[in-house]
Amino acid sequence: MSLSDILARIETARHTAGRGPVTLVAVSKVQPDARVEAVLEQGQRVFGENRVQEAAGKWPGFRERFAGIELHLIGPLQTNKLRQALDLFDVIQSVDRPKLARLLAEEAQARGTCPDLFIQVNTGEEPQKAGVLPAEADAFIAQVRDDYGLPLKGLMVIPPVDEEPSLHFALLAKIAQRNGLEGLSMGMSSDFESAIALGATHVRVGSALFGDRVTG
């Protein structure tokens, strides 16, 4: 589907639901450079990658050629990649544990700057999945935002593949609302319209925009 088709569907969904602006995060992981470049040529500037290493190989080059790129990390962040991630990304959506928050706070202090942050919530309580548990979310939000003073913008979720995503979107929205957070990163290729209906401010769309991923 073309970029303009996706943007039109986002606009329709947010008008129907009476929602504010929604940012399309174009998920470019594992996509051939030519496909990413075509979307850049069409004016898209916000992209998501889930691996630091892969992003490091591809985005510095694009940044030299296209102004105004905003890069989001949407995959788990290992602490040994933290500095590299801070050099590359404008937004980190996958803050998911106290140790990472502490190291982010230290680096932010040393650098005098920090990317915008989202906390990933494991609403499905899946053991293999990153994210804080819903019951731990309020305390972790307070730690990141209030204790460390980090620029926390919102929450992110990846619902379980075999469950109705709307229940997870609604839970994420509820946690955000009771904590006074505005950003909600939820919804992917197959469900971004229902995420927008439930308040998504950022949708992460990969395969619907770029075509199927070869691997990963």
Ligand X SMILES: *Cc1c(COP(=O)(O)O)cnc(C)c1O
- Using an 8 Å Cβ cutoff, are 104 and 148 in contact? yes
Asked if 207 touches ligand X (CB under 6 A), the answer is yes
Q: Phi, psi at residue 11, to the nearest 5°? A: -60, -45
- Using an 8 Å Cβ cutoff, are 22 and 14 in contact? yes
Q: Which of 9, 14, 29, 153: binder of ligand X (CB under 6 A)?
A: 29
Contact letters (x/-) for ligand X, 49-88, by CB under 6 A?
A: -x-----------------------xx-------------
3-state secondary structure of 20: coil
Q: Which of 86, 104, 158, 171: binder of ligand X (CB under 6 A)?
A: 158
Q: How far is the CB of 192 from ligand X (least distance, A)?
A: 8
- Report the C-alpha gap between 40 and 162 in whole angstroms: 33
Q: How far is the CB of 149 from ligand X (least distance, A)?
A: 26
What DSSP element (H or E) covers 116? Answer: strand 116-120
Contact letters (x/-) for ligand X, 166-205, by CB under 6 A?
A: ----------------------xx--------------xx
